[in-house]
């Protein structure tokens, strides 16, 4: 694939000019220790991928408040120590010519009250409604228990305030922008989906009311960052973490939400396609996500695709104008230089150590395995 291909034409995203359209998606990797604080191994990992040609990197999901996540050693952005620890990561990415957004993440009902951070927080597992999700693999707890029934939040504005403070902290750290995690069955998605949101107040019921929470979070993020540095990731097809509505309701809900979000002139909206990998139980609603919602995203907001793209498919999608750029996730695990490999026609490494995601000790030496020890190609 030559440098003149559609994937390797620069693109403007808000005030940023990105050198190509090969982006790195959020990838939770369980390596921020101790106390959910990024460390030197995280710096190495992000620097490698920036040096490997990624134009825009979105961090792994970053917890906006202490939560009982099933992802051990996931990073946070609620403390001064975390803010300070993100700065070397950001500096390393910038030094390699890439930009970096932080993904703001609240788990909602798929947190667990028995995990250390949730206990330290001293608050229940909050969600739109008291409905437990199916599944759950809390490997840190005896017996790998499933999800629990959450506590219905009395006033969702309390949760919106957490996002705003996280955005303030992210700005202090020096990120280039913020991506709201509105996908994969987490809090924003839980408000959107009628199977997890049974509220009868202004935050539930109608499409407009179920969309209110996510839109209000976006508006608060904009007060901190400006619209051209705020983005959102959406997975309308659902599936992951036990979300999914009938097709007609899915289309109505997400068409409304995307159209309203587009009015905010965001930096970008990332649309996650249906993926069997992310929908192992078949609870999602398979449909053409890009064709269904992409046309609703108009300038200045950019339209990005995500989930399961091959380099060849990404090239075709950008060339056709279906998307303005593509996020790669899994391929960035084993290919720190993915963008350069694509640009130079090198083979892509599919031999990824997924067991290493969990099976490591919280030490820099152990954490490098399956994380920052993948070599680049020879050029």
Residue 270 lies in a domain: yes
Residue 197 lies in a domain: yes
The list of the chain residues with pLDDT below 50 reads 3
| C-alpha to C-alpha distance for 248 and 240, rounded to whole angstroms | 19
Nearest to residue 49, comparing CAs of 372, 379, 378? 372
| C-alpha to C-alpha distance for 174 and 100, rounded to whole angstroms | 9
Number of neighbours of residue 177 by Cβ within 10 angstroms: 27
Please tell me the total count of domains within the chain: 1
Stated pTM of the model: 0.97
Position 121 scores a pLDDT of 94
Q: Which domain holds residue 229?
A: 6-368
Position 4 scores a pLDDT of 53
Residue 165 lies in a domain: yes
Residue 17 lies in a domain: yes
Residue 10 lies in a domain: yes
| C-alpha to C-alpha distance for 8 and 5, rounded to whole angstroms | 6
Q: Tabulate helix, strand, coil % of the chain (nearest 5).
A: 35, 15, 50
Position 60 scores a pLDDT of 97
Task: Note the pLDDT tens digit of each residue in 248-303.
Answer: 999 999 999 999 999 999 999 999 999 888 888 888 999 999 999 999 999 999 99
Encode 45-59: b = buried (16+ Cβ within 10 Å), e = exposed.
bbbbbbbbbbbbbbb
What CATH number did the domain enclosing 237 receive? Answer: 3.20.20.70
Position 278 scores a pLDDT of 84
Position 197 scores a pLDDT of 98
Residue 378 lies in a domain: no
Task: Note the pLDDT tens digit of each residue in 319-344.
Answer: 999 999 999 999 999 999 999 999 99
Residue 30 lies in a domain: yes
Active-site residue (options: 126, 186, 240, 309): 186
Residue 73 lies in a domain: yes
Position 187 scores a pLDDT of 98
Per the annotation, the verdict on 186 as an active-site residue is yes
Position 1 scores a pLDDT of 57
Nearest to residue 289, comparing CAs of 183, 167, 132? 183
Concatenated DSSP letters for 16-71? EEES-SEEEPP------TTTT---HHHHHHHHHHHHTT-SEEEEEEEESS----SS
């Amino acid at each position: 694939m030559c440098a003149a291909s559609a994937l390797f034409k620069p693109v403007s995203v808000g005030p940023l000019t990105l050198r190509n359209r090969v982006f790195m998606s959020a990838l939770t990797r369980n390596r921020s220790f101790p106390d959910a604080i990024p460390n030197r191994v995280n710096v190495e990992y992000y620097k490698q991928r920036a040096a490997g040609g990624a134009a825009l990197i979105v961090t792994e999901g970053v917890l906006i408040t202490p939560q009982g996540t099933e992802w051990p050693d996931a990073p946070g952005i609620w403390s001064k120590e975390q803010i300070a620890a993100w700065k070397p990561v950001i500096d390393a990415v910038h030094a390699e010519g890439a930009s970096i957004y932080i993904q703001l993440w609240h788990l909602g009902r798929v947190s667990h009250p028995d995990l250390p951070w949730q206990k330290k927080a001293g608050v229940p597992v909050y969600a739109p409604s008291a409905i437990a999700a199916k599944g759950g693999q809390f490997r840190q707890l005896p017996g790998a228990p499933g999800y629990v029934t959450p506590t219905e939040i009395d006033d969702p504005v309390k949760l919106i305030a957490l996002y705003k403070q996280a955005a303030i902290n992210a700005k202090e750290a020096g990120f280039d922008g913020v991506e709201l995690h509105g996908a994969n069955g987490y809090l924003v998605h839980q408000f959107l989906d009628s199977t997890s949101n049974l509220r009868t107040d202004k935050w539930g019921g109608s499409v407009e009311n179920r969309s209110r929470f996510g839109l209000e979070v976006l508006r608060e993020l904009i007060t901190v960052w400006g619209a051209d540095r705020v983005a959102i990731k959406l997975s309308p097809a659902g599936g992951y973490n036990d979300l999914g509505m009938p097709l007609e309701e899915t289309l109505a809900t997400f068409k409304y939400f995307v159209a309203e979000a587009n009015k905010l002139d965001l930096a970008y909206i990332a649309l996650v396609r249906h993926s069997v990998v992310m929908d192992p139980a078949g609870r999602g609603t398979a449909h053409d996500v890009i064709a269904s919602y992409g046309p609703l995203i108009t300038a200045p907001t950019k339209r990005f695709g995500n989930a399961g793209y091959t380099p060849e498919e990404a090239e075709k999608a950008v060339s056709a104008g279906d998307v303005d750029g593509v996020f790669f996730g899994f391929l960035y695990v084993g290919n720190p230089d993915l963008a350069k490999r694509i640009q130079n026609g090198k083979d892509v490494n599919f031999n990824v150590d997924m067991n290493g995601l969990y099976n490591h000790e919280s030490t820099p030496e152990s954490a490098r395995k399956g994380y920052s020890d993948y070599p680049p190609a020879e050029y």
